[in-house]
Structure 1
Amino acid sequence: MKNVPNYKKIYSDMIAMKYPEKIKVCEGYLRKEKLTVLDVVKLNKLLSNGSNHMSNKFNQRFKSYDKSVIFEILDYQKKKHLTNTELARHFELSRNTITKWKKEFL
């Protein structure tokens, strides 16, 4: 059995304590029964909103994606007709990562 963090609880508590002014912006995500990895990435973007570049670069190292999220990201690229560079910028990934995923999964 896989232990998965309860992201909904984590982000609900964090928003209530640190970012009460952003409750309305994040309300749609917090209404969901379960948050996906993409929801967590979007919530992070909403909450960080121009925070320190160095901390963003440091946190980038610790992101990980499972197959279902990778397929979602690649599907997003198809739907929006994005290049690898545009997709990488949107999700704050490396272009090489996108290329590797395409070779491995498509």
Structure 2
Amino acid sequence: MKSSGPNYKKIYSDLIFKKHPEKYQSCSSILQKEVLSTLDVIKLNQIIFTSENLETSLFNQKMRSYDRVTIIEILEYQKKNKLSNTKVAEEFKLSRNSIAKWKKIEIK
């Protein structure tokens, strides 16, 4: 069986053990999952690279893309926690306009 993408579980496990062993405890619950979702990868990034500078953070944000499953997860998170578009955008470092656009697309 051929894998459809990168093995993020292996990548992040290796990264944590080699470069940031002190952060293993914070990441262990996510790394124990069978398959990591896009949101899991984002959470791992936030845990591991907390001291990112602003320029790097802005560049990384521009390069993100979200698959349909992740978009649905984010929108369900918003409904479950009764958050505004602004609050969800702040939490996931997204644009409010992206959230609004996704909601329009999901309704159709």
TM-score for the superposition, normalised by structure 1: 0.94
What is the Cα deviation at residue 65 of structure 1?
A: 0.9
Q: Give the total of aligned pairs.
A: 106
Show structure 1 runs of 5+ residues with no match. Answer: none
Residue 68 of structure 2: aligned partner: 67
CA distance in 2, matches of 1:13, 1:43: 13
What is the Cα deviation at residue 84 of structure 1?
A: 0.3
CA distance in 1, matches of 2:3, 2:32: 24
Displaced runs of 4 or more, over 2 A: none
TM-score for the superposition, normalised by structure 2: 0.93
What is the Cα deviation at residue 50 of structure 1?
A: 3.2
CA distance in 2, matches of 1:8, 1:52: 25
| RMSD of aligned alpha carbons | 1.3
Amino acid at match of 1:25: S
Mean CA deviation greater in 89-98 or 59-68: 59-68
Inter-CA distance 2–13: structure 2 relative to 1 (3 Å threshold): closer
Show structure 2 runs of 5+ residues with no match. Answer: none
Amino acid at match of 1:94: S
Residue 44 of structure 2: aligned partner: 43
What is the Cα deviation at residue 3 of structure 1?
A: 2.8
Q: Give SS of 2:65's match.
A: coil
What is the Cα deviation at residue 85 of structure 1?
A: 0.3
